[in-house]
Amino acid sequence: SATARSRTGYLIRFAGCPIAWASRLQTEIALSTTEAEVIALSTALRDVIPMMNLLNEMCAREIVPEKYKPRVYCNAFEDNSGAYEIAKFPKMRPRTKHINIKYHHFRSYVDRKLIEIYAIDTDDQLADLWTKPLADDKFHKFTELSMGWKFTQRDQG
C-alpha cells in the first residue's frame, strides 16, 4: 500500500562491526525531505546514545581495564544538506523551528564532540541499503562495506 511516510534506515557499528541496524517507516508524515532526514538521524541517535552511555558506565565502574578503555564517541553521516545544517549548526530558522525543537535531543552530545555529524555524498550513503531499492552493483558494494559480505560471480547470477 502507498504511504506518505518516509522510511528510516541506519546501521550502527562498533569497532567496525555491525551491531544494530533498522529499516522502518517513520511514525509521522514529514513535510519535507529535510525533515524526514532529521527524523531518521534522530531515530538512529536515539539507539546510539544509550549504547554510548552503557560503554561509559562500564568504563566508570572499571569493568573495562584501564589500558583498554575506549574513547566513546559516534560519527554520524548525513547526505541531505538541509538536515546536516540543522544537526550541525543549532540556528533557529522559521521553516524548520518545529524540527529543531522536537528532534534535537542529541544536541548536547554534538556540543561535547561525543557525536560528530559529517556530510556525505548521496552516492556513498550506506543507509540507502535499508531505505530504497538499489541497482545490483550498488547493493553489492554497500553490503560489502557495511556487513563485510563479498559477493562472488556465482552469487551475482
* pLDDT one-digit tens code per residue, 6-19: 999 999 988 888 89
**In residues, how long is the chain?**
157
Contact 90, 48 (CB under 8 A): no
For the segment 70-118, what is each residue's pLDDT rounded down to a tens digit?
888 899 999 999 899 888 887 767 777 767 667 778 888 998 999 999 9
For the segment 29-56, what is each residue's pLDDT rounded down to a tens digit?
888 898 899 999 999 999 999 999 998 8
- Measured CA to CA, the distance from residue 63 to residue 55 in angstroms comes to 10
Angle 17-103-3 from CA coordinates, rounded to 5°: 85
Answer whether 0.85 is exceeded by the pTM.
no
Mean pLDDT of the chain: 86
Crossing angle, helix 81-88 and helix 33-60, to 10 degrees?
40
